[in-house]
Amino acid sequence: MTEAKVTAESSEVLKPPISHAGIIGWARLNLFNGWFNSTLTILILVAALQLIPPFVNWAFIDSVWNTTGAECQQVKGACWSVIPANFRLVIFGFYPAESQWRPLLAMIMLVGLLLYSKNRNNWGKRLLYIWLFSLFIMGVLMRGGLFGLQPVESAKWSGLPLTLILSFFGMLAAYPLGVVLALGRRSNLTGIRSLCVVYIEMIRGVPLISLLFMSSIMFPLFLPKDLNIDKILRAQVAIILFTAAYIAEVVRGGLQAIDRGQYEAAESIGLNYYQTMRLVILPQALKIVIPPSVGILISAFKDTSLVVIIALYDLLNTSKSALSNPEWMGSSSEVYIFVALIYFLFCYLMSSYSRRLEAELEYKSTE
């Protein structure tokens, strides 16, 4: 009995050896387990010592934050002054300054709507109507002409609002088209199936640039001569046609994941094709494909930057036009890092959301 007591006491007193606990234990386990990992760790630390101090010097210590362009030329470090000086141009582009609150409000609405849609308890028909209504309001805010708002022609839409419009409107409009294409590709009717296959494979086989070229130089030829569609809408159509093909493939994956029994059960209770799809198959299939759809939204968001090539002023192009001002020549890195941060923030939030959603949905389905 005394023996047992002694062991109990000593186990309370004895702490794990210092080499296996705390920070040292952690480092031994994660950084220096074996000669190979130890060498790697040391090499990385040496490289970091070489690279990080110069970068910190450039970005923070030697940098200037609020000067004119001329003063910037004298500085060794980063010239962050270029960003406050051109902030309006980069974010809002050529939108009239006195109406700038309108795109700002529209963007806040969009972000708020996205945050609201994040919560899965809010998903439903109501959310769809809220979205449609808000999109209408955002359109009115951008375009003006209603409720006493001054009209702003779309040629002046630029900067971050344009990037958001092209990607989110594009995604929303492409989704129904993509679903139809996916259903067509899975159809038993040879004619319809081959049409859809040709469309999807053709679009996926060519770069987005070629479609944008087509939109900017060929669409005018396709339309009757008195019908003039503005440049942004044409690019938007190209993005929609492009995104739809990728959505179709994602949705097809969801359709394939649905058990055949579901189709047979729907048939056996006498539902026709339309009812089967709308009431049984699509609700399940679309739920499966939400995470990969967010992935498509991310690439659509990044891909909108390609409209630079057909001379639309999206976020990337307004930042380039800020750089073309001779006063700020030579500050490309600073501006590009700033714009990259904006893109990164949006994409990173979306992708981490999609990963969380995937985990949640998986958990729920195994429950």
Partner 1 sequence: MSSQNTQPSGKVFFWYDPVKRGIIYQVFTLLAVGLLGYYLFSNVQINLERQSIATGFGFLDKESSFEIGESLIEYSSADTYARALVVGVLNTLKVSFVGIVLTVLLGTLIGIARLSSNWLVSKIASGYIELFQNIPILLQLFFFYALFYEVFPSPRQALNPIVGVFITNRGIVYGVPESHKAHGAMFVAFLVGIVIVFFLKRWAKKRQIATGQIFPVFYTALVILLALPIVTWLLYSAPTAMDVPKLSGFNFEGGVNVSPEFGALLFGLVLYTAAFVAEIVRAGIQSIDKGQTEAAMSIGLRPGQIMKLVILPQALRVIVPPLTSQLLNLTKNSSLAVAIGYPDFVAVAGTSINQTGQAIEGVALIMVVYLTISLSTSVFMNWYNKRIALVER
Q: Tokens 């389905």 appear where?
A: 365
Under 8 Å CB-to-CB from 279, ≥6 apart: which residues?
266, 271
Shortest CB 42 distance to partner 1, Å: 10
What's the closest the beta carbon of residue 169 comes to partner 1, in angstroms?
18
Distance CA 112, CA 330 (A): 37
Q: Give the shortest CB-72-to-partner 1 separation in angstroms.
A: 13
What is the C-alpha separation between 242 and 199, in angstroms, rounded? 10
Taking the least distance from each CB to partner 1, the nearer of 217 and 233 is 217
Q: Which is nearer to partner 1, 152 or 239 (CB)?
A: 239
Q: How far is the CB of 104 from partner 1 (least distance, A)?
A: 23
DSSP assignment string, 15-55? PPPGGGSHHHHHHHHHT-SSHHHHHHHHHHHHHHHHHHHHH
Quick one: 32 or 169, whose CB is closer to partner 1? Answer: 32
Give the contacts of 303 (CB within 8 A, at least 6 positions apart): 167, 208, 239, 242
CB of 262 to partner 1, least distance (A): 19
Q: Which helix (DSSP H) or strand (DSSP E) does residue 180 occupy?
A: helix 170-185
Q: Which is nearer to partner 1, 53 or 220 (CB)?
A: 220
CB of 13 to partner 1, least distance (A): 31
* Distance of closest approach, residue 362 Cβ to partner 1, in angstroms: 15
In sequence order, what are the beta bridge partners of 159?
314
Closest distance to partner 1 from the beta carbon of 365 (Å): 19
Sign of the dihedral defined by the CA atoms of residues 17, 23, 26, 31, in that order: negative
Nearest distance from residue 145's CB to partner 1, in Å? 29
Nearer to partner 1, 207 or 283 (CB): 207
Q: Report, in Å, the least distance between residue 354 CB and partner 1.
A: 12
Q: Let me know: does 231 contact 313? Beta carbons within 8 Å.
A: no
- Angle between helix 231-257 and 290-303 (nearest 10): 160
Nearest to partner 1 of 104, 180 (CB atom): 180
Closest to partner 1 by CB, 9 vs 62, is: 62
Q: Which is nearer to partner 1, 112 or 220 (CB)?
A: 220
Q: Which is nearer to partner 1, 205 or 270 (CB)?
A: 205
How far is it, in rounded angstroms, from Cα 225 to Cα 210? 23
Residue closer to partner 1 (CB basis): 141 or 244: 244
3-state helix/strand/coil string of 90-156? HHHCCCCHHHCHHHHHHHHHHHHHHHHHHCHHHCCHHHHHHHHHHHHHHHHHHHCCCCCCCCCCHHH
Q: What is 187-247 written as a DSSP string?
A: -S-HHHHHHHHHHHHHHHHS-HHHHHHIIIIIHHHHS-TT----HHHHHHHHHHHHHHHHH
Binding site for partner 1 (CB under 8 A): 30-31, 33, 37, 40-41, 44-45, 188-192, 195, 201-202, 204-210, 213-214, 217-218, 220-225, 298, 302-303, 305-306, 308-309, 316, 320, 330, 332-333, 336-337, 339-340, 343-344, 347-348, 351
